[in-house]
Amino acid sequence: MLLGAALSLPAHAQKGKKDPKNASPPSGPQRLQPLYGGLTPAQAQQAVGTAVLADVDRSFPSRAEASKFFSTKGFEYLLENQPDTATVRFNLAWVLDPKNPEPYRGLAVLLSQRPDAPQEAVQALALQGLAVAPTNGPLLVDVANLTLARYEQGKKKKDLQQASDYVQRALLADSTNANAWQTQARIHYYQENYAEAWKDIRKGQSLSLTSLDFQFLTELMAKMPDPEGKFK
């Protein structure tokens, strides 16, 4: 559960970001740009090179298995705060299997950490992952949080409803996803249903203590004290 919490895209983390609608994703060396800066999988294979692909084919039973391996390595490097190495691994994982949702998620998390990255580019990556894995719980939570961040900026009810739809899909896919319950709590908070928000907090806490967002708890307590008196 710690890994999931560390890699989630919390809505409140986007509050301080500007929302440059016409901004482009960060530039830089092609291999350090998500999905090689917009190449097709076929073009990306050429960028990787036949020698690398041949070496992968010799080392793994299938490219799908290799993709899973490099995705896992990408998340390890992400947690070790080595974003460039993580990006290279995720990009290679995507080239090897564009239907693997994990590279999209990892790259979305990495891109969200760049101060110059537009939110639309982050969400586009997460949505590409959902396109190949519509029931992927962590991705659904990430997209819910990104949509919730958009609601926080514009206060449009359709964004709040869309965020709710995503998190409901995440809970349907996996009701033990603690981060999904905490996102559900934020949605109930914005709907001014504070009692339900506290219930969501309890559910998420029972599944993983690391899912608790103490900044949000402070905001919620200002609206309604903890009914059980555990948080003060």
Pair (89, 152) in one structural domain:
no
What global pTM score does this model have? 0.84
How does pLDDT run across 80-127, given as a tens digit for each residue?
999 999 999 999 999 999 999 999 999 999 998 888 878 888 999 999
Q: What is the pLDDT of residue 110?
A: 92
**Domain extent at residue 37:** 24-117
178: domain CATH number is 1.25.40.10
Q: Is the pLDDT of residue 174 over 70?
A: yes
Pair (138, 203) in one structural domain:
yes
Q: What is the largest CA-CA distance in the chain?
A: 62
- How many structural domains is the chain composed of? 2
In a domain, 56, yes or no: yes
- Class of residue 117 by CB neighbours under 10 A (exposed 0-12, middle 13-18, buried 19+): buried
Pair (177, 220) in one structural domain:
yes
Pair (162, 108) in one structural domain:
no
Q: Is the pLDDT of residue 165 over 70?
A: yes
Report whether 104 contacts 129 (CB < 8 A). Answer: yes
Tokens of 85: 């190495």
pLDDT band of 11, cuts 50, 70, 90: low
In a domain, 125, yes or no: no
Report whether 167 contacts 144 (CB < 8 A). Answer: yes
Q: What is the pLDDT of residue 14?
A: 43
Pair (150, 103) in one structural domain:
no
Q: Is the pLDDT of residue 23 over 70?
A: no
Pair (105, 33) in one structural domain:
yes
Q: From CA 155, how far away is CA 151, in angstroms rounded?
A: 5
pLDDT band of 31, cuts 50, 70, 90: confident
Helix axes 194-207, 214-223, angle to 10 degrees: 150
Q: From CA 92, how far away is CA 98, in angstroms rounded?
A: 10
Question: Is residue 25 within a helix (H) or strand (E), and if so which, with residue range?
Answer: none
How does pLDDT run across 188-229, given as a tens digit for each residue?
999 999 999 999 999 999 999 888 899 999 999 999 999 999
